[in-house]
Amino acid sequence: MGATISGLTAILLAAGKGERAGGGIAKQYRTLGGRSLLDHAVRSLARADQILIVVAPGEADRAALALRDMTSVQIFLTGGTTRQESVRKALDHLATLPSPPSHIMVHDSARPFVPESVWERLVAALENGAVAAMPVLPVVDTLVRGTSGIAADVVPRDSLYRVQTPQAFRCDALLAAHRAWPSGENATDDAQMLRAIGHEVVMVDGDQRLEKITMAEDFVRVAALNGLSIGTVPDIRTGTGYDVHRLVEGKPLWLCGVEIAHSHGLSGHSDADVAIHALVDAILGALAEGDIGQHFPPSDETWRGAASLRFLEYARDRVASRGGRIGHIDITIICEAPKVGPHRDTMRKRLAEILALTPDRISVKATTTEGLGFTGRREGIAAQATATIVLNG
Ligand code: CTP
Ligand code: MG
């Protein structure tokens, strides 16, 4: 039996925090190929009569700024603390309309590219009378159960599918399914809620280009699947850092994560590894994410006596969470003594281990100041660093 589609509204979910993707900015506001993911998603839903864009509380202005073109078919709504609640808020809005649409597509902005073919298959399913339809992909890997790192039975995969969005529904059925869903139970998509009240959910062929961006590395993969030139126009950043610590007698001396035998050591809140502090600032600088003091305040007792390598690991992870990689680092240590030369390769090796780089991307240099200034008087050691970082998108 055919169905008349008298109005198709898309609910575009963009109220998540994007925690797993990291990067300090919720993923829907990050850019690929010069447009925000949200903008890509809105464009790929252009065939809907109306788009309800569900954003986190207080973020309507931010969302509007993330769109290149605003049109009258876009309406911003405030979402909830879970995906399910965000859908529910959009449905509450629809329920107040004098003439709600006949059909709804619920879509994740974390899947910014909806191929026309998928849209057409979903609409065709609705026109054929389906109450619910969703795109799926077959599972291609072998699936196995396992506990504590030990594999158990293989799970037959021929009747298993990976579920994508947009998911298409008759509006009245979607409203009823949300009303009937037990409060306190989490549903990760809407089709399962329709099934729970006895509706059949039709599966149509999904598409790899619809893969969800969940982790930092997914940006590059999804961009490549959609033919965006992300890899060919890398976003290369350079940051610089500078730090000084006072030399005092009888303290251990740490430089570049290596303990060096010397009459004096550096004083500071942490282990006072001046070279690593400069390097961390260089990395944070390249990311435009403030400085070491902001991320590890000296007032915080947690970091008293801490190994500075912890700060470097943190900076390394900030780069990874932005989908980037460190291309090269260059450190200059400024002191009269000790001599850095004999330790240079150990230092490069140590930094290489922490940063998961080959030592040929790590330069450690040293200079004296010819007896001039505070370094010349051996009152302290200074270090400066540059970091070159390749970000994608
Ligand atoms: N979503 C939403 N409201 C929420 C939670 C999620 O609208 N309270 C949306 C997200 O914006 C995303 C989609 O649901 O487009 C799928 O969720 P997910 O991939 O989990 O995104 P996030 O929740 O943002 O990411 P994370 O779980 O890593 O924090
Ligand atoms: Mg989530």
Q: What is the mean pLDDT of residues 326-333?
A: 97
**Ligand nearest to the backbone CA of 15:** 1
Ligand 1 lined by 14 (C-beta under 6 Å): yes
Measure the CA–CA gap between 52 and 173, rounded to whole angstroms: 18
The pLDDT assigned to 392 comes to 64
The residue assigned the tokens 């290149």 is: 68
The pLDDT assigned to 393 comes to 45
Q: What is the mean pLDDT of residues 314-335?
A: 91
pLDDT score of 6 more than 90: no
CA 34 to chain CA mean position, Å: 17
Measure the CA–CA gap between 51 and 74, rounded to whole angstroms: 5
Which residues are close to ligand 2, an ion, with C-beta < 5 A? 16
Quote the DSSP letter at residue 84. Answer: H
Rounded to 5 degrees, φ, ψ at 159 are -115, 25
pLDDT score of 231 more than 50: no
CA 83 – ligand 2 centroid, Å? 7
Q: At 230, is the pLDDT very low, low, confident or very high (cuts 50, 70, 90)?
A: low
DSSP string, 230-245: TTTS-EEEEEEEEEEE
Nearest partner of 274 among 297, 295, 287, 292, judged by Cα = 292
Q: Tell me the pairing of strands 50-55 and 150-155.
A: unpaired
pLDDT score of 205 more than 80: yes
The pLDDT assigned to 368 comes to 97
Q: What is the mean pLDDT of residues 170-195?
A: 95
Higher pLDDT, 224 or 213: 213
Higher pLDDT, 227 or 367: 367
The pLDDT assigned to 233 comes to 58
CA 16 – ligand 2 centroid, Å? 6
**Upstream peptide bond of 98 is cis (omega within 30 degrees of 0):** no
Q: Count other C-beta atoms under 10 Å from residue 210's C-beta.
A: 23
Nearest partner of 210 among 220, 228, 225, judged by Cα = 225
Half-sphere exposure of 187 (CA within 13 A, CB side): 20
At 159, which amino acid appears? S
The pLDDT assigned to 79 comes to 97
- Name the β-bridge partners of 326: 389
For residue 176, with 0-12 CB atoms within 10 Å meaning exposed, 13-18 middle and 19 or more buried, which class applies? Answer: middle
The pLDDT assigned to 277 comes to 98
Higher pLDDT, 168 or 62: 168
The pLDDT assigned to 27 comes to 94
Residues 89/38, Cβ–Cβ less than 8 Å:
no
Nearest partner of 122 among 208, 49, 130, 47, judged by Cα = 130
The pLDDT assigned to 229 comes to 63
Share of the chain above pLDDT 90, in %: 79
Ligand 1 lined by 166 (C-beta under 6 Å): no
The pLDDT assigned to 268 comes to 92
Ligand 1 lined by 53 (C-beta under 6 Å): no
Residue to mutate (ligand 1; options 78, 84, 108, 212; most atoms within 8 A of CB): 108
Q: At 239, is the pLDDT very low, low, confident or very high (cuts 50, 70, 90)?
A: very high
Model confidence pLDDT, tens digit, residues 257-298? 999 999 999 999 899 999 999 999 999 999 999 999 999 988
- In our burial notation (b when 16+ CB lie closer than 10 A, e otherwise), range 21-55 reads bbbeebbbbbbbeebbbbbbbbebbeebebbbbbb
**pTM of the predicted protein model:** 0.65
Ligand 1 lined by 188 (C-beta under 6 Å): no
pLDDT score of 1 more than 60: no
Model confidence pLDDT, tens digit, residues 16-45? 999 999 877 899 998 887 788 999 999 999
Q: What is the mean pLDDT of residues 287-311?
A: 90
CA 18 – ligand 2 centroid, Å? 7
Q: At 70, is the pLDDT very low, low, confident or very high (cuts 50, 70, 90)?
A: confident
Q: Which ranges of 80-115 would DSSP assign to H, the alpha helix? A: 83-95
Model confidence pLDDT, tens digit, residues 42-69? 999 999 999 999 999 999 988 988 888 7
Ligand 1 lined by 270 (C-beta under 6 Å): no
